[in-house]
């Protein structure tokens, strides 16, 4: 049986941050919890049932939070910043660890959350016992921006904008800008995870759909080849950008097997 706490808020220098925790009745408190980092348009709610199933499959606590400006967290104003991917590890993520009294942990991120997770693993080498990236980019490819331009057209439709607003409310326009304007900006022309990958020492699992519309499988291979610790690469035929939703049970099995080898 899965227990999930009501939505909580923690006070940070970046405003109130929404947090939710899932755990199975058989959760082992001695095991490091899993912290989830959502994608560019994501939030706690958009993980849907996945965190609870992950808690059940791994017997670990699973913790997800809405980044500042997203979901039920406090709004942000203005440009998100060219360094927002790198900065998350030392800002809101650091405050989450403190507020929830987390020592060792496993970090898993989807899409841009995966890129943030790489930076987290590099920033906390003594505390991060495992890294999982799902559909993460490691360098900017033409397909990445092409996918974003297509999404920009999609969300110009008021109905599609309204659907996203169910999760982000009055922050929706900012959320879209934080993704689209940032990634299409000239400052990101030469963005890459290459400088930080060698600092990742923990075991790493890299998951990527072969049909991902925002990045080729070369993205995943670059991550797996670039980290210093042991890496497991899982390329999924027929899967697009959201493997944990498109092939939920397969991904859960991968994660459970990977985490069974970790503290």
| pTM value > 0.85 | yes
Q: What is the domain-level CATH number for residue 29?
A: 3.40.50.1820
| pLDDT score at 89 | 98
For the cut 90, the answer to whether the pLDDT of residue 24 exceeds it is no
Instruction: Provide the terminal-to-terminal Cα distance of the chain, rounded to the nearest Å.
Output: 23
Domain of residue 129, residue span: 2-259
Please tell me the distance from the alpha carbon of residue 117 to that of residue 133, in angstroms, as a whole number: 7
pLDDT band at 83 (very low <50, low <70, confident <90, very high): very high
| pLDDT score at 12 | 93
- Strands (E) across the chain are located at 2-4, 8-12, 15-24, 34-37, 62-65, 105-110, 128-134, 204-209, 231-236
For the cut 80, the answer to whether the pLDDT of residue 40 exceeds it is yes
| pLDDT score at 202 | 98
| pLDDT score at 9 | 96
At residue 131, the 3 state secondary structure works out as strand
Spatial CA neighbour of 106 closest among 88, 126, 131, 89: 131
pLDDT band at 25 (very low <50, low <70, confident <90, very high): confident
The contacts of residue 43 (CB under 8 Å, 6+ apart) are: 18, 66, 70, 71, 72, 167, 168
| pLDDT score at 117 | 98
pLDDT band at 77 (very low <50, low <70, confident <90, very high): confident
User: pLDDT by residue (tens digit) across 214-253?
Assistant: 999 999 999 999 999 999 999 999 999 999 999 999 999 9
Average per-residue pLDDT for the chain: 96
- Mean pLDDT to the nearest integer, 53-74: 97
For the cut 90, the answer to whether the pLDDT of residue 95 exceeds it is yes
- Strands (E) across 88-127 are located at 105-110
Please tell me the distance from the alpha carbon of residue 121 to that of residue 132, in angstroms, as a whole number: 10
The residue with tokens 């058989």 is 26
For the cut 80, the answer to whether the pLDDT of residue 186 exceeds it is yes
User: pLDDT by residue (tens digit) across 132-143?
Assistant: 999 999 999 999
- Mean pLDDT to the nearest integer, 123-152: 97
Q: How many domains does the chain have?
A: 1
């Amino acid at each position: 049986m899965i227990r999930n706490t009501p939505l909580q808020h923690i006070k940070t220098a970046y405003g109130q941050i929404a947090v939710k925790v899932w755990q199975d009745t058989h959760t082992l408190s001695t095991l490091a919890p899993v912290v989830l980092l959502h994608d560019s348009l994501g939030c706690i709610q958009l993980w849907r049932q996945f965190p609870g199933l992950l808690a059940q499959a791994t017997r670990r606590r699973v913790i997800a939070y809405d980044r500042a400006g997203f979901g039920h967290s406090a709004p942000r104003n203005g440009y998100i910043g060219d360094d927002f991917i790198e900065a998350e590890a030392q800002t809101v993520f650091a405050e989450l660890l403190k507020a929830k009294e987390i020592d060792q942990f496993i970090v898993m991120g989807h899409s841009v959350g995966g890129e943030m997770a790489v930076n987290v693993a590099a920033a906390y080498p003594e505390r991060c016992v495992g890294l999982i990236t799902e559909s993460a980019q490691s360098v900017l490819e033409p397909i990445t921006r092409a996918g974003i331009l297509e999404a920009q057209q999609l969300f110009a439709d008021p109905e599609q904008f309204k659907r996203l607003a169910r999760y982000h409310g009055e922050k929706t326009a900012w959320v879209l800008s934080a993704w689209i304007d940032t990634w299409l900006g000239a400052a990101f022309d030469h963005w890459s995870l290459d400088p930080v990958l060698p600092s990742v020492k923990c075991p790493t699992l890299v998951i990527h759909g072969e049909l991902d519309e925002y990045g080729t499988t070369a993205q995943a291979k670059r991550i797996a080849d670039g980290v210093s610790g042991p890496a497991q690469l899982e390329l999924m035929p027929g899967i697009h950008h959201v493997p944990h939703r498109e092939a939920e049970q397969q991904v859960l099995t991968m994660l459970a097997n990977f985490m069974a080898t970790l503290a």
